[in-house]
Amino acid sequence: MASAQVVLISAIASGQGKTTVTAALARKLCRQGQRVRVFKTGPDFLDPMVLQRVCGSPVQTLDLWMVGLDHCRQLLAEAATEADVILIEGVMGLYDGTPSSADLARQFGVPLLAVIDASAMAQTAGAVVLGLRDYGPVDLAGVIANRVGSARHAQMIAESMRGIPLFGTLPRQQQSLPERHLGLVLPDEVDTIDSVLDQLAEQLDLDAGAWERMQPNGFDPIRADQNNADELKGKTIAIARDAAFAFLYPANLDCLHALGARTVFFSPLADEAVPIEADAVYLPGGYPELHAEALASAVRWQQSMHQVHSEHIPILAECGGMMALAESITDTQGTSWPMAGLLPGQVIMQTRLAALGPHAWQTSAGELRGHAFHYSRLESDAVPAAHTTKYPTGEVGEPIYRTGSLTASYFHAYFPSCPQAVAKLFRTGGGQ
C-alpha cells in the first residue's frame, strides 16, 4: 500500500481563492523539498495548467461521475507511489454538484482544508467554517484564510474557529492570477507567472505543526485495465496544440497511448499543416476566438485540413476545434473572421455563458462522458447526427455533427470513460 499526506482544498463558493491557495501551498511545499502531486476536482482545463506549472507534473481530473470511482482510485494510488503530498483542488462550493467535492472527500476518506475569503469578515468566519464542516458532515482538518488584512485580523479569525485549526493565512494580493471569460489566463501567456507563484508561496503563513499532525492516507495499488490495449496500434493521431487549442485532458493523451496510438503535435496558429503521417486528427478546445485573425490567415493549415477531410481521414473537433472548422467566427465586437469551413455555419461569440455542465454521449460502443463549457453559439443548417445528454437531468444536450470523416461538437470528451468509443471514433471517423 502506498501512502501520502492527502488533503482536499475547498470553499463555500467559487471566487474564494481555492486555486490561489492550492498553488501557493503546492509551491511552498515543493520549495521545502516535498514531492507534490496536484489534482483538480471536476471538469476544468485552466486551473490544472497553472497548478502543473507549480508542481511540474500533469494535473489529472478527479470526478466520481465523469472519471469514475475506480479510475479516481487508480489515479490516487499511482500518485501516492511517487509523492509525499497530494493536493486536490475542489470545484465550486464544497457541496455543489452531483457528485460534489464533499462526496469525493468522503469516498476516499480525505480530510479537507477550507479556504475562506476573509476580506470582508472576521469572527463570522467561524460560523462559515462550522457550517461547512457540519452540513455534510466532512472531516475538516483546518482552514486557510485568504485575503487577510493584518495579524490582528488573523487572530480574530483563529479565535472564532472553536477548536478548528487555522492552518495558514494569505494576505491580500497585489498581484493575482489573471483571468478572462473562461477562467484563468494560460500560464504561458503570463511572463511573470513564476514570480507571482513564488510570491504567493512566500506570503502563505503556514502552521507547520498543524500540517505535520495530519495523518497520511493509504491507497492499495490498482492495475490498469488492459482490455482495450492495441485497438489503435500503428495509428498516428495528429493533435493541434498551441494557445488556440490548449484544452486537453492529460488523461486523454494517456488513453490514446494506452490504446496503442502514437501522437504528434502541430500548431494551426503557426500555420503548420497537419503532419503527413496522420491517420487521424484531433482538434481540442481552446481560445480560437482570441486568435481568430491568425487562424483566418493560416492558409496552409486550412488547406491541409481540407486535404485530410477529402481523404476521409477521421477528424474529431471539440468546442474550440469545432469553432475553427466552421465557416466563420464573429467576435464580441462584431467582426467576422473566416475559418476553415469544413462545417456549415457561423460561430457567434456572446458575453453570456451558453452552456456549462457534465454531458454524456451514447455511442454504439458505450457511454462517453465529458462536459460542455462555452460562450458562443453555432448557427448552422446542418442536421445533428446525435445529441449528448445532460447529467443528472437527462435533458437534451449538445448537438454532435458529422460531415464526411469529421465529428464536431461543443462536447469535451473524457476519453478514459469509454476507450472503446474513442478507438472507434479515431479509426472510422463519422462511422460511429
Is residue 212 very low, low, confident or very high in pLDDT (cuts 50, 70, 90)? confident
Q: Please choose, from the candidates 172, 237, 202, 226, the residue with its C-alpha nearest in 3D space to the C-alpha of residue 23.
A: 202
In this prediction, residue 96 carries a pLDDT of 95
Backbone angles phi, psi at 12, to 5 degrees: -75, -20
- In this structure, whether the domain defined by 2-215 belongs to CATH 3.40.50.300 is answered with yes
Q: Per DSSP, what are the bridge partners of residue 349? A: 376
Model pTM score: 0.92
pLDDT at 427 over 80: yes
Amino acid (1-letter code) at residue 284: P
Domains 2-215 and 236-428 share a fold: yes
pLDDT digits (tens, 9 = 90+) for 147-173: 999 999 999 999 999 999 999 999 987
Q: Among all residues, which ones are annotated catalytic?
A: 319
Q: Please choose, from the candidates 110, 84, 118, the residue with its C-alpha nearest in 3D space to the C-alpha of residue 205.
A: 118
Q: Per DSSP, what are the bridge partners of residue 377? A: 348
**Measured CA angle at 83 (ends 16, 44), to 5 deg:** 40
- Tell me whether the omega of the peptide bond preceding residue 338 falls within 30 degrees of 0, making it cis: no
pLDDT at 226 over 90: no
Q: Please choose, from the candidates 291, 373, 381, the residue with its C-alpha nearest in 3D space to the C-alpha of residue 339.
A: 291
Is residue 431 very low, low, confident or very high in pLDDT (cuts 50, 70, 90)? very low
In this prediction, residue 217 carries a pLDDT of 87
**Measured CA angle at 281 (ends 293, 312), to 5 deg:** 110
pLDDT digits (tens, 9 = 90+) for 91-143: 999 999 999 999 999 999 999 999 999 999 999 999 999 999 999 999 999 99
**DSSP β-ladder status, 236-240 and 280-283:** parallel
Nearest-angstrom CA–CA distance, 323 and 283: 10
Fold of 236-428: Rossmann fold (3.40.50)
pLDDT digits (tens, 9 = 90+) for 268-297: 999 999 999 999 999 999 999 999 999 999
Domain ranges of the chain: 2-215, 236-428
Strands (E), 126-178: 140-148, 166-171
pLDDT at 432 over 60: no
Q: What percent of the chain has pLDDT over 90?
A: 81
In this prediction, residue 180 carries a pLDDT of 44
Nearest-angstrom CA–CA distance, 310 and 171: 57
